Amino acid sequence: MRAIYLVLELHKTQAEVAEVIGVGRQTVNQWLRNYAGDGEEALLDRRRNSPRKGKGLLTAAEARRVRHWITDKCPEQLKLPYALWTAGAVRELIRRRLGKHLGLSTVQLYLLRWGFTPQKPLSRATQRSNAVIERWLEREYPKIARRAKREKALIYWGDETGVSNQDQVGRSYAPRGQTPVVRRTAKKISPSMISAVNNRGLMRFMCYKEALNADRFITSMRRLTKGASGKIFLIVDNLRVHRSIKVRKWVAEHNDDIQLFFLPPYAPEHNPDEYLNNDLKQQLKNLPRPDRQEELAQSATSVLRSLQRRPARIRAYFHHEDVRYAA
């Protein structure tokens, strides 16, 4: 019945179900044929019920409790020696809290029924405040957007990133047992870039070699405002340079051209410019590996100029759920 449920209700393949249940794919296929012909009666094997029947299952109340535990808490909070909610961790939770010993495949089936899927977890800073972020999304940014409309200003989201010749190169096909080798200089080269994107498909950038300081940030803002059709509202993160006295003084002196706003702390996923950074690095990964900083900077500039000519691609960054508020 578990196999039938997985195939007919959750639309799993017979191969996936066979692996979960621990039988051959042909066995699952036979069960499905029997069920299609004679219903549940065809699945009975006429053996007597085991005295343990039902002891490896959860009641509806127990299932609700387990779902609540793994939805609202992490394993450490429940004093379990795990960092993530794996099927094994959930099974151990059930054993400790409810005294029931479930099979691993049974736990996996419960998780599927509850709508849980294995996912790569995201990293979030412990200093992050969800209340502050919620207030930004629901109140502060809408006020900025209304003001921009009133003053006929363009809103840009800015960010900085670095690219390196030591970045992960991805995967490569090779004969089984022969791990491919990538040869590159041992010297690390890592030029940096500051960029800004707009939901109309506009993008500006500036590459630099050394660490970001107030002067370089001011230079990027000066270039951003040069030739702009109206005032610029620039939204950036809370990097110390962005809030430096020198930057604040320069912005105050150029208040007619640019206004600076700040994202909530530790909320990079709400900055659309992060998607430009990721796009750049993904494209650089497919280019020849440079040996000199000038070559890497030239490659990055070439990719960014290509993206500048594709406003639809820039606008697509704003389609992601976390930044849709900015569209």
Higher confidence at residue 170 or residue 245? 245
Q: Two tokens at 6?
A: 């997985």
Q: Please report, as a single letter, which amino acid is at residue 6.
A: L
Residue 233 in contact with residue 259, Cβ under 8 Å? yes
Can you give the pLDDT at residue 1?
A: 85
Q: Residue 50 pLDDT > 60, yes or no?
A: no
pTM: 0.63
Can you give the pLDDT at residue 256?
A: 93
Q: What is the pLDDT of residues 138-190, one digit of tens each?
A: 999 999 999 999 999 999 999 998 877 665 555 666 687 777 766 666 566 67
Q: In the CATH hierarchy, which fold is given to the domain comprising 130-164+188-326?
A: Nucleotidyltransferase; domain 5 (3.30.420)
Q: Residue 126 pLDDT > 80, yes or no?
A: no
Q: Residue 116 pLDDT > 80, yes or no?
A: yes
Q: How many H-runs (helices) and E-runs (strands) does the chain carry? A: 13, 5
Domain extents in the chain: 1-45, 54-118, 130-164+188-326
Residue 40 in contact with residue 1, Cβ under 8 Å? yes
Whole-number average pLDDT of the chain = 86
Can you give the pLDDT at residue 227?
A: 83
Helical H segments across 152-257, by residue range: 214-225, 245-253
Q: What is the pLDDT of residues 206-230, one digit of tens each?
A: 988 888 999 999 999 999 999 888 9
* Residue spans of beta strands (DSSP E) within the chain: 154-162, 192-197, 203-208, 232-236, 258-262
Higher confidence at residue 172 or residue 198? 198
Q: Report how far residue 228's alpha carbon sits from residue 153's, in angstroms, rounded to the nearest whole number.
A: 10
Can you give the pLDDT at residue 82?
A: 85
pLDDT-based confidence at residue 35 (cuts at 50, 70, 90): confident
pLDDT-based confidence at residue 258 (cuts at 50, 70, 90): very high
